[in-house]
Chain A
Amino acid sequence: MTGPDIADLADLTIAEAGTGLRSGDFTSTDLLAAVTKRASATEAHLHAYLTLDHEGSTRAAEAADASFAVGEDRGPLQGIPVALKDNMCTLGIETTASSKILDGWIPPYDATIVTRLKAAGAVITGKTNLDEFAMGSSTENSAYGPTRNPWNTDRVPGGSSGGSAAVTAVGSALGSFGSDTGGSIRQPAALTGLVGMKPTYGIVSRYGLIAFASSLDQIGPFSRTVEDSVLLLETISGFDPKDATSINAPVPNFGGSLGRGVSGMRIGVVTEFLNGDVIDSQIIAATRGMADKLQDAGAEIVEVSLPSTEYSLSAYYLIAPAECSSNLARFDGVRYGHRSNVEGTTEDMMSHSRAEGFGPEVIRRILLGTYALSAGYYDAFYGQAQRVRTLVRREFASAYEQVDALISPTTPTTAFAIGEKSDDPIAMYYSDLCTIPSNLAGDPAISVPIALDDAGLPIGFQVMAPALGEEVMYRVAAYVERLAGFTARASLATSEVVAP
């Protein structure tokens, strides 16, 4: 049989696939068939997708092929199969945020990111699993069951965007989108050997993203390469009049310095995140090793101390629950979603709907947040957390007066076992230790895979930059990617289950 080897297409980068589509080597329909085949081979092992939109994706792929046929080109994502975390509203396609409370809910509108992807000719394969309402670091808190890590299915893929990480890692999409409130893109990217990026707060519209913590949430891409990350981000970013926190300014030229190297740059290593008490020693070693390589490549590496990061975790676990306690108040069984059958008053109906519909971690955070905002406690908790946030911002801003970018590990550990931390919320919360400060500061940050640990699990390396400093961040990340030469693929992606 002539024609493309469909199994291999699922392993292409977006940039490679784009070239192939434009040179007529294969069609978008072929690409979709490849990732669909990969999904059918791996989903039983991973449970990464909650919904596969066969009809919509087929139509989108055919439309992309028709566009290519007449020479119409709407940009680098035309014809590319990408997946969305199931907390982004999709017109006519069930959207649950992995919560029972939204079981069966079909949005009557598209999130702005979905509108933009459709306009760019992207092929949306389906909706991916997450920790309920994006609250978690392992994708175990899903009402529909956990997602597993394609590198080792006894391990978690990280979270909360674990489904989006797993599909891109295994090849059941060429790229995907997650949301990052305290590390929910970068941490699963690190645990699945992907590039995962959280943009500057305000450059990607949150309209249609089911809110967890509004002042911290930001949508961003998962990809296998830094170059793909740029292509994905370019398509979804830019001012949106439907989001009042959207930045009304031209977006930076994200990929403008990709090939420039790091010679002459000043890069700071965050000393607090090289602390052996909280960070795994193999990860510290890999991070230091990469810092040395950057120095050898001509960057000036300096140690930077950010003492307030010590309080970031506590501040985050007050601010995020406080906002979520209010954001999730709308789920009351009145207008949509789960409605309890309890006998009694309207109030009984509302409170029972919530108690029945929300999972334990969501309830824990709502209670935490409600408490933190209560009269008499506001100042000691929420008020104090906001002051810490201001401090973190200032500390980062003054660090960026000294250095062009900051580097650190992305996570304290590599992928942990399923169930290992699910009974210990505090241990789970520590997964986001290195990622939370960028959310508090509103700055961009990216995780790039640099090595495997002794167990064969990927280690992520974080590059942080000042607000709207994506170009610098990508410049360093691209060079880290090159220096690391990380080419390993998730074992499930190369195993016999996906063999043609």
Chain B
Amino acid sequence: MTVWEAVIGIETHVELSTESKMFCSCPADAEGEPNTACCPVCLALPGALPVPNGKAIEGILKIGLALDCDINESSIFYRKNYFYPDLPKNYQISQYTFPVCEHGHIEIDVDGASVRIGITRVHMEEDTGKSTHVGDGDGRIHGADHTLLDFNRAGIPLVEIVTEPDIRTSQEARAYGAELQRIVLALGVSDAKLEAGSMRFDVNVSVRPVGAKELGTRTETKNVNSLRSVQRTIDYEIDRQIKVLEAGGEVRLETRHWNENTGVTTSMRTKEESEDYRYFQDPDLLPLEVTPAWQSEIRSGLPELPAITRARLATLGADMIAAGVLADSSDLAALFEEAVEAGASGRAAGIWLTGEVVAYTRRSDVAVLETGLTGGRLAELTAMVEAGKLSSSAAKKVLIAVLEGEGSPEEIAESKELLQVSDITAIEAAIDHVLAENADAVDKIRGGDMKPFGFLVGQVMRQMGGRADPKVVRDLLTDRTAG
């Protein structure tokens, strides 16, 4: 039986959150009343001309540099010609040869292993308007009674990031998408909202027998808009293609559509009937020059990238999972660093922050900075646990009270009488009392039946009001019941 492997490449579109559009001064805000953020340029009125937005170029340079790309000192805008009602000029200004950035890569982490995904190119283009197809036709243009057009989105700067066909599994694809989203967010160049479409994926999938050199025929599934859907689309496509091939069929080179509700992809159009875009250099725009000085200015202004943040947090003691969660939130990461600075163990601080603290902020819908938690207080809490002054359940109660703003862990533990008793005399007195009342249990234990031991521990803890260190109780009880 043939063993198959998948070959996957992803094209990601990221809408930049610049103030104005790519080639005109309209606000880059697609949310307003339809057709209110438009001008002669983005409506493609006769005679109007495009002028590139320098801020958008800065955005793509940041992305390109963050992905370790080579930056072309001179890059070219092309026209991609095709007719569609929501494309005002009936061509899209895009790039073809000589994009702004080429030959980058990104490192992702899949099940503890690092995987390198090559980035073929990162190029600049403009978004289209939005069509709403009304009537029969399931929201598609064919079969619709009429179509409403909103050009607010037309001309918003879009960056397209294209990977090499380096991805082999749907998990890798998902991890790639997630890491790219983190990078874009860290750079602050886009809100990267998948559900709102400001970041969206086109997924190219093919399969081939393991060991084969040649690529199989691929399909492209367009506009997948969640990380989960990326994974599901790929799983579905791999499965579908293998079935087609094993049944002796051929995979068709085609564009497919992912249906979130049914969980299947369906054919949109075959590539044979797809258009010839008649790319040519846009004569309205001069080559885009990126001087080495501009490039290094952008590079020196780059923020810390998520992978670096994670590595740094890990060296401070956070475990891998916690480092990942902390790196995604600059507030949590800052608290973490403060706590470690104040003497907390990185491992414990990471677990508390990413566990109880995150759960609390979600439950109460507050930002972590609005709670009573500080790095110092977290360090105090972890120190108390380590010293055996708080049981883990008591520590949780203390932490909640700290978050609620009731004071420092010491004060709270004191006032709520949650401090653990490690005073052996008190515990021994309690043990004396329990053993006297449960002589038969002691006999059983001494006779080799350990079942009642746990019961005795529980009785002692109860006698102590839950504040005894269970480890100490166990040790003392073991001695006292020994035969």
Tell yes or no: A185 within 8 A of B by CB: no
User: Which residues from chain A contact B278 at a C-beta distance below 8 Å?
Assistant: 325-326, 370, 373-375, 378
Residue interface bits B351-380, CB-to-A below 8 A is 1, else 0 = 000000000000000000000000000000
Tell yes or no: B43 within 8 A of A by CB: yes
Binds B, one of A21-29, A331-339, A407-415: A331-339
CB distance from A17 to the nearest CB of B (A): 29
In the bound complex, CA of A384 to CA of B276 (Å): 19
**Partner among A108, A209, A330 whose Cβ is within 8 Å of the Cβ of B88:** A330
Binds A, one of B178-186, B220-228, B279-287, B452-460: B279-287
User: Which residues from chain B contact A373 at a C-beta distance below 8 Å?
Assistant: 81, 278-280
User: Which residues from chain A contact B276 at a C-beta distance below 8 Å?
Assistant: 374-375
User: Which residues from chain A contact B44 at a C-beta distance below 8 Å?
Assistant: 330, 335
Q: Contact check, A214 vs B46: say whether CB atoms are below 8 A apart.
A: no
Q: Given that A346-B147, A374-B278 are known contacts, is A208 also in contact with B48, CB under 8 Å in the complex?
A: yes
In the bound complex, CA of A208 to CA of B39 (Å): 13
Tell yes or no: B45 within 8 A of A by CB: yes
Residue interface bits B86-101, CB-to-A below 8 A is 1, else 0 = 0011110000000000
User: Which residues from chain B contact A334 at a C-beta distance below 8 Å?
Assistant: 85, 149
Known: A109-B45, A210-B46, A345-B142. 16 other contacts (CB 8 A): A107-B46, A108-B40, A111-B47, A211-B47, A211-B284, A242-B49, A244-B52, A245-B283, A329-B81, A329-B83, A329-B90, A330-B46, A330-B89, A373-B278, A378-B280, A382-B280
20 contacts between A and B (CB under 8 A): A102-B46, A108-B40, A207-B48, A207-B49, A211-B46, A211-B47, A214-B283, A214-B284, A242-B51, A244-B285, A245-B285, A329-B90, A329-B91, A332-B83, A346-B85, A350-B83, A350-B85, A370-B278, A375-B276, A382-B280
Tell yes or no: A206 within 8 A of B by CB: yes
In the bound complex, CA of A251 to CA of B278 (Å): 36
Please give the residue numbers on chain A whose beta carbons come within 8 Å of chain B beta carbons, in ascending order. Answer: 87-89, 95, 97, 102, 105, 107-109, 111, 206-211, 213-215, 241-245, 322-323, 325-326, 329-332, 334-336, 345-347, 350, 370, 373-375, 378, 382
Q: Contact check, A243 vs B49: say whether CB atoms are below 8 A apart.
A: yes
Q: Contact check, A241 vs B51: say whether CB atoms are below 8 A apart.
A: yes
Please give the residue numbers on chain B whose beta carbons come within 8 Å of chain A beta carbons, in ascending order. Answer: 40, 43-52, 79, 81, 83, 85, 88-91, 141-142, 147, 149, 276, 278-280, 283-286
In the bound complex, CA of A95 to CA of B47 (Å): 11
In the bound complex, CA of A102 to CA of B45 (Å): 11
CB distance from B273 to the nearest CB of A (A): 13
Q: Contact check, A336 vs B45: say whether CB atoms are below 8 A apart.
A: yes
Q: Given that A322-B280, A330-B90 are known contacts, is A244 also in contact with B81, CB under 8 Å in the complex?
A: no
Q: Contact check, B47 vs A209: say whether CB atoms are below 8 A apart.
A: yes
**Partner among A209, A323, A345 whose Cβ is within 8 Å of the Cβ of B283:** A323
In the bound complex, CA of A88 to CA of B46 (Å): 9
User: Which residues from chain A contact B91 at a C-beta distance below 8 Å?
Assistant: 326, 329
In the bound complex, CA of A71 to CA of B474 (Å): 107
In the bound complex, CA of A213 to CA of B284 (Å): 10
In the bound complex, CA of A111 to CA of B40 (Å): 11
In the bound complex, CA of A329 to CA of B47 (Å): 13
User: Which residues from chain A contact B40 at a C-beta distance below 8 Å?
Assistant: 107-109
User: Which residues from chain B contact A244 at a C-beta distance below 8 Å?
Assistant: 49-52, 284-286
CB distance from A285 to the nearest CB of B (A): 39
Q: Given that A329-B89, A332-B90, A350-B83 are known contacts, is A105 also in contact with B46, CB under 8 Å in the complex?
A: yes
Instruction: State the majority secondary structure of interface residues on A.
Output: loop
In the bound complex, CA of A322 to CA of B283 (Å): 11
CB distance from A370 to the nearest CB of B (A): 7
In the bound complex, CA of A244 to CA of B88 (Å): 19
Residue picked from B50, B280, B285, most chain A C-beta under 10 Å: B280
Please name the residue on chain A nearest to B52 by beta carbon.
A244
User: Which residues from chain A contact B83 at a C-beta distance below 8 Å?
Assistant: 329, 332, 347, 350
User: Which residues from chain A contact B47 at a C-beta distance below 8 Å?
Assistant: 87-89, 107, 111, 206-211
**Partner among B43, B48, B85, B284 whose Cβ is within 8 Å of the Cβ of A332:** B85
In the bound complex, CA of A272 to CA of B104 (Å): 52
In the bound complex, CA of A375 to CA of B271 (Å): 14
User: Which residues from chain B contact A370 at a C-beta distance below 8 Å?
Assistant: 278
Residue picked from B46, B147, B286, most chain A C-beta under 10 Å: B46
**Partner among B46, B52, B79, B285 whose Cβ is within 8 Å of the Cβ of A95:** B46
CB distance from B272 to the nearest CB of A (A): 13
User: Which residues from chain B contact A375 at a C-beta distance below 8 Å?
Assistant: 276, 278
CB distance from A90 to the nearest CB of B (A): 10
Please name the residue on chain B nearest to A202 by beta carbon.
B286
CB distance from B83 to the nearest CB of A (A): 6
User: Which residues from chain B contact A335 at a C-beta distance below 8 Å?
Assistant: 43-45, 88
**Partner among B81, B88, B141 whose Cβ is within 8 Å of the Cβ of A326:** B81
CB distance from B55 to the nearest CB of A (A): 15
In the bound complex, CA of A476 to CA of B280 (Å): 38
Please name the residue on chain B nearest to A217 by beta carbon.
B283
In the bound complex, CA of A283 to CA of B262 (Å): 77
User: Which residues from chain A contact B279 at a C-beta distance below 8 Å?
Assistant: 373
Please name the residue on chain B nearest to A109 by beta carbon.
B40
Q: Contact check, A215 vs B283: say whether CB atoms are below 8 A apart.
A: yes
User: Which residues from chain B contact A330 at a C-beta distance below 8 Å?
Assistant: 44, 46, 88-90
The 9 closest A-B pairs by CB, nearest first: A329-B90, A215-B283, A214-B283, A373-B278, A208-B47, A210-B46, A330-B44, A89-B47, A375-B276
In the bound complex, CA of A107 to CA of B40 (Å): 9
User: Which residues from chain A contact B286 at a C-beta distance below 8 Å?
Assistant: 244-245
Please name the residue on chain A nearest to B77 by beta carbon.
A244
User: Which residues from chain B contact A346 at a C-beta distance below 8 Å?
Assistant: 85, 141, 147
In the bound complex, CA of A341 to CA of B44 (Å): 23
User: Which residues from chain B contact A95 at a C-beta distance below 8 Å?
Assistant: 46
User: Which residues from chain B contact A89 at a C-beta distance below 8 Å?
Assistant: 45-47
User: Which residues from chain A contact B51 at a C-beta distance below 8 Å?
Assistant: 241-244
Q: Contact check, B48 vs A97: say whether CB atoms are below 8 A apart.
A: no
CB distance from A203 to the nearest CB of B (A): 15
User: Which residues from chain B contact A241 at a C-beta distance below 8 Å?
Assistant: 51
Please name the residue on chain A nearest to B143 by beta carbon.
A345
Q: Given that A108-B40, A244-B51, A347-B83 are known contacts, is A97 also in contact with B46, CB under 8 Å in the complex?
A: yes
In the bound complex, CA of A243 to CA of B51 (Å): 7
In the bound complex, CA of A329 to CA of B277 (Å): 13
CB distance from B52 to the nearest CB of A (A): 7
CB distance from A248 to the nearest CB of B (A): 11
Q: Contact check, B85 vs A245: say whether CB atoms are below 8 A apart.
A: no
Residue picked from B79, B83, B278, B285, most chain A C-beta under 10 Å: B278
In the bound complex, CA of A322 to CA of B278 (Å): 10
User: Which residues from chain B contact A102 at a C-beta distance below 8 Å?
Assistant: 46
Residue picked from A87, A329, A350, most chain B C-beta under 10 Å: A329
In the bound complex, CA of A373 to CA of B142 (Å): 29
CB distance from A187 to the nearest CB of B (A): 22
In the bound complex, CA of A85 to CA of B474 (Å): 100
User: Which residues from chain A contact B284 at a C-beta distance below 8 Å?
Assistant: 211, 214, 244-245
CB distance from A489 to the nearest CB of B (A): 34
Please name the residue on chain B nearest to A373 by beta carbon.
B278
Please name the residue on chain A nearest to B277 by beta carbon.
A375
CB distance from B34 to the nearest CB of A (A): 13
Please name the residue on chain B nearest to A335 by beta carbon.
B43
In the bound complex, CA of A174 to CA of B276 (Å): 48
Please name the residue on chain A nearest to B275 by beta carbon.
A375
Please name the residue on chain A nearest to B151 by beta carbon.
A335
In the bound complex, CA of A332 to CA of B91 (Å): 12
In the bound complex, CA of A382 to CA of B79 (Å): 14
Q: Contact check, B49 vs A326: say whether CB atoms are below 8 A apart.
A: no
Q: Contact check, B46 vs A326: say whether CB atoms are below 8 A apart.
A: no
In the bound complex, CA of A225 to CA of B15 (Å): 54
In the bound complex, CA of A207 to CA of B280 (Å): 21
In the bound complex, CA of A326 to CA of B46 (Å): 13
In the bound complex, CA of A382 to CA of B149 (Å): 34
User: Which residues from chain A contact B280 at a C-beta distance below 8 Å?
Assistant: 322, 326, 373, 378, 382
User: Which residues from chain A contact B88 at a C-beta distance below 8 Å?
Assistant: 330, 335
CB distance from A376 to the nearest CB of B (A): 9
